[in-house]
Structure 1
């Protein structure tokens, strides 16, 4: 969406809440149809960026984040170039915080390099990459303009999944496996990872397929549904969720869980994995989560979420799988 001369990338709605103007990745009508609208994590940012071209030497943004146990940091990029050591990150707090962004003094040199190297973004595009939590936007000070289409990547990759897709424990928004894949192929990214809320709702599937702004996609299914869904109920959800993607001409690949164990019911992971394999057969290319991350030492201490090394492994193997089944990426 667009507002105040800013492209709110991967944002469908800025909704009024008691805590402030909250950025949300789902439109209100879709959010109303998910299983638990009050607690659904569509408003937990992932791949959410504020993008603009500076028309003044300095721009100020006023933002805030939800209360969290860890530091929440916005990462600044000029196109694909991170800001220098004094302009790479900004700490955000639960109170409205004004951050100042200065135009790089060497912007012309950055643009020349980006053109010579065929980089995906024009360095004139400021990208404020927000942390993966709830983010609030209040205002912008200083003249800004929307990026032009030629300043952005020509193609977009859409990723659906759980907290692993969302980027939990990736350490920063630029280190999630979907972002690493997008960077590898020089594409833009729409990250629809929903931590704890990837329940394969029909309304979410229909909405994602209705969007015409992506060119290929990956679907990671299963981990958030192990506790609350029976195998039969999970099969019904998988079948309905993938149906609109399978009917769409754009390339889409499917995978399941990178975990190997579920202490509450050890057989259930294997059952769910088999269901995804069976339901995608003849409809979508499928790769087992075990082929993406087969080493449990690349998981955190919860034996569920990948480490930064694990994220790179998933990005490498899923990226290779995308090349094999999408083509024209590398």
Structure 2
């Protein structure tokens, strides 16, 4: 989405709220957000409004820029990049306007252009990335107010300055980045960097429920080239195995039918405490096993050339790579998953 000559990446809507200046960066359209969890658990309506994973991208000849942002609820971090080069990190406190004054490092003018153009992005692209909530640990909401380039022209990046492949990632809070101390350590960002992909992160912490509205949104979405679906962990204890199978089948069948040439990767549940409970035959332990089997059967039944199955336990073979809650990966765990996922996706895509 382009607004004020800025590319708002991973943003489906710029929402103006009554009595609030600026535009809220929304990863899901309102018609989808307002239907999530209908009749059973509506936390997805809140989580889907979190801006973590959104970016504001632009190119300007100005050596200095000012961008004004705010965080209406929880405070959180903004990470700034020049292309793939880390520039700075800034904390937005809730309820306050923050103007970030950013300067292009003079070292960029002293090295060869070939050295700077080795990443996914052109170094000319300013990337203002919404990272993580300082309070809740994963998502927080960000409002854009103004960009100042001091009389210099500004434009959105062109295709040659961006990664060629866009990756839609749907899943739980693990996909959205929970457990990582900064979002660029999350497994999605780690894998994307290794693969050279751009990311559309549609993770929904605690509310990845495979609703029909979500499935239809992804099916109609034309902005992705490859997708990963990390399914099941949030649906344990809320849905039966049969209900999970019905929803997963609709999601996968819809996406693969509408985009037959695009690779879709199913990721089974990552290791978590329910795999190793002292209590033994626990409902969540059974769900871990049964939900993973649902995805395996779905993969076998469809037998589609562009539908691939990846085992979550293969991506995270080290149980100590979890955080202390024994469900979210730590930074090390996210990086380990990202490395392994990039290798497996690359192997499938190179066939």
TM-score by length of 1: 0.90
2:313 corresponding residue in structure 1: 290
Counterparts of 1:110 and 1:26 in 2: how far apart (Å)?
40
What residue is the counterpart of 2:52 in the other structure?
Answer: 46
Q: Which runs of 4+ in 1 moved over 4 A?
A: none
Equivalent in the alignment of 2:288: 269
> 1:191 aligned to 183, 201, 205, which one?
201
- Cα deviation, residue 73, structure 1: 1.7
Using the alignment, how far apart are the partners of 2:73 and 2:35 within structure 1?
Answer: 27
- Report the Cα offset of residue 19 of structure 1: 5.9
Alignment of 1:241-320 (within 5 A): 241-247=251-257, 248=259, 249-262=261-274, 265=283, 266-281=285-300, 282-283=303-304, 284-320=307-343
Judge conservation of contact 1:111–1:123 (CA < 8 Å) in 2. Answer: no
1: CA distance, partners of 2:72 / 2:180? 19
Secondary structure of the residue aligned to 2:16 is strand
- Which residue is 1:90 aligned to? 90
Contact kept, 8 Å, 1:129 with 1:173, in 2: the verdict is no
Contact 1:219 1:255 (8 Å CA) reproduced? yes
- How many angstroms apart in 2 are the aligned matches of 1:193 and 1:165? 5
Q: Which runs of 5+ in 2 are unaligned?
A: 133-139
1:226 aligns with 2:230: no
Give 1:38 shift: 7.2
Measure how far apart 1:296 and its partner are. 1.7
Alignment of 1:11-22 (within 5 A): 11-17=11-17, 21-22=23-24
Residue of structure 1 in register with 2:135 after alignment: none
**Structure 1 unaligned spans of 5+:** none
Q: Is the 8 A contact 1:239 1:279 kept in 2?
A: yes
Paired residues of 2:44 and 2:207 also in contact (CA < 8 A): no
Q: Are 2:180 and 1:170 aligned?
A: yes
Residue 311 of structure 1: CA displacement? 0.6
Residues 171 and 308 of structure 1 are in contact (CA less than 8 Å); yes or no, is this contact kept in structure 2?
yes
**Matched ranges for 1:47-196 at <5 A:** 47-68=53-74, 72-83=76-87, 88-94=88-94, 95-108=96-109, 109=111, 111-115=113-117, 117=118, 119-132=119-132, 133-142=140-149, 143=152, 144-196=154-206
Cα distance in 1 for partners of 2:249, 2:116 equals 43
Q: Which moved more, 1:246-255 or 1:139-148?
A: 139-148
Q: CA RMSD in A?
A: 2.0
Could you say what secondary structure the match of 1:62 adopts?
strand
TM-score, normalising length from structure 2? 0.85
